[in-house]
Amino acid sequence: MLKNIPPIISPELMSILMRMGHGDEIVLADGNFPAESCAQRVVRADGHGVIPLLDAIMQFFPLDTFVDHPASVMQPVNDDAMEPPIWSDYRRVLAAHEGHEVELRPIERFRFYDFAKSAYAIVATGETAIYANLILKKGVVMA
C-alpha cells in the first residue's frame, strides 16, 4: 500500500494509468459491457461501481484539453429513451476534478464498441446501471 492512493485503484490499474500517454483512451465499462471481447488490455474491477472508480481515477488522470470531447458515453439504443441518471453523476465527478463542466459526447452503441476496441484499456466494473459506459481521453499534466 502507498499513502494517498485510493484502495479502489489496484496496482494493475495504477500501472495502466501511468503507462497511458496523451491521447490514449480508457473505458470504464459497466457489468454488461463485452470487455473481454473488445479490449487490448482488461483491468478487472469486479464489485465496484463506475462512480467511485471515476472519482478515484480523476485524482490522477488529466483529461485531454486539446479535443472537443474528452469524455464519451454509450448512447441508449432507443431514440426516445431518457438520459441515463448515472450521466449526471459523471458530470458532477468530472466537474469536481476538472474545475469546469465537462460535456459528455453520446456515441451510438456499435460505434462505441469500435472506440472501445482501440482504447488503451478497458476497466471491467460491476456497475449495474444501464448505459454506464464511459470513455476518457488522457491529456497532459501541466506543471
- What are the residue numbers of the active site? 22, 64, 113
- 46 DSSP β-pair partners: none
Output the nine-digit C-alpha cell for 97: 476534478
- Using only C-alpha atoms, what is the Rg of the chain? 14
- What is the residue type of 110? F
Q: Are 86 and 129 in contact (CB under 8 A)?
A: yes
What's the rounded Cα separation, in Å, for the pair 65 and 68?
Answer: 8
What's the rounded Cα separation, in Å, for the pair 18 and 42?
Answer: 15
Q: Is 13 helix (H, G, I), strand (E, B) or coil?
A: helix
Instruction: Give me the residue label for grid cell 452503441.
Output: 109
